[in-house]
Amino acid sequence: MVTTEDIKDYIKKIPPPPDILYKTVACVNSGDLVKAAKIAEQDLALKSYLKNLVNKPIYGFRNEVNEISQIFGILGVNAAKQSLYNYMLSLLSPKKWVLFKMNQVLFYDLQADLSRKWHDILVHLKIDDKDIESAITLLPSSIIVCEALFKDHIENVRLLKATKDLDYNTILKRLAQLDLFDICKHIAKTWDLPDTIGNIVLAASGVKEESDPKINLLGKWMHLLLFYELSQPNFVEAGLNNFIEFNVEYVSDIYEDFMQLMNMEVGL
């Protein structure tokens, strides 16, 4: 059995961001993208990460964007902050994954794809809120925590998986009395995010509806996004889709709207 306190200890092991990253985030939070770019320029690894991010085909730029000031200008405050959170997680992701068939490149792709699509969803919904934009970061961070937790109980996890064909969320609940989305909420508290952010992610489970219509609506969109993204072949092979059980009734009222937006994403 893994206690709630054990989970909190796993979360606490997530180290603070490097000083340059911390200062860059602070400037982005204050809306000073010019100063943020000057600070970020000092970290070659961060600069390389941001270049690779914004030059991905999903952004559709014909010419390579190299300057951090340009990159932050393209992203804007909310997406820039989200990208910095993703970079922090890339530093924390395991060098070698044990349970999930992941590597750092695939984890990077997961973060980038979720962030970009969540940003477009919020634009579509006319929501401009840096905390809500950051909410999508909680899922990749919780996957890191689950990998660490499962790695320490790998034989029990494999036995449950092999003998009872349980999904990872059910195994997680048996081990820790918490599911993936509960862990997301614990991380949100650790990162001092507003309670509403953790509630959005709980609603995204598809089984923990919120009474607040706005939170519940965002939970529906996030539920669809997680299922859509983790159903992609690379993430199915990695075993990540085994966490999300699709609740079609929960999202039936926005499903068509969501799919139209995703089709626009891929240029269909």
The residues spanned by each domain of the chain are 4-15+78-265
Quick one: what percent of the chain has pLDDT higher than 90? 24
- Terminal-residue alpha carbon distance, the chain: 47
User: What is the structure's pLDDT at 220?
Assistant: 95
Q: Supply the mean pLDDT for the chain.
A: 84
268 pLDDT exceeds 50?
no
* pLDDT level of residue 157 (50, 70, 90 thresholds): confident
User: What is the structure's pLDDT at 184?
Assistant: 87
Mean pLDDT of 20-24: 83
Nearest to 200 by CA among 181, 186, 183: 181
267 pLDDT exceeds 60?
no
* Rounded (5°) CA angle 155-159-165: 140
Q: What is the pTM of this model?
A: 0.76
Q: Under a CB-based contact definition with an 8 Å cutoff, are residues 120 and 265 in contact?
A: yes
Over the stretch 203-243, which tens digit does the pLDDT of each residue have?
A: 999 888 888 999 999 999 999 999 999 999 999 999 888 87
261 pLDDT exceeds 50?
yes
Q: CA-to-CA distance for 187 and 191, rounded, in angstroms?
A: 6
Over the stretch 240-257, which tens digit does the pLDDT of each residue have?
A: 888 778 889 999 999 999
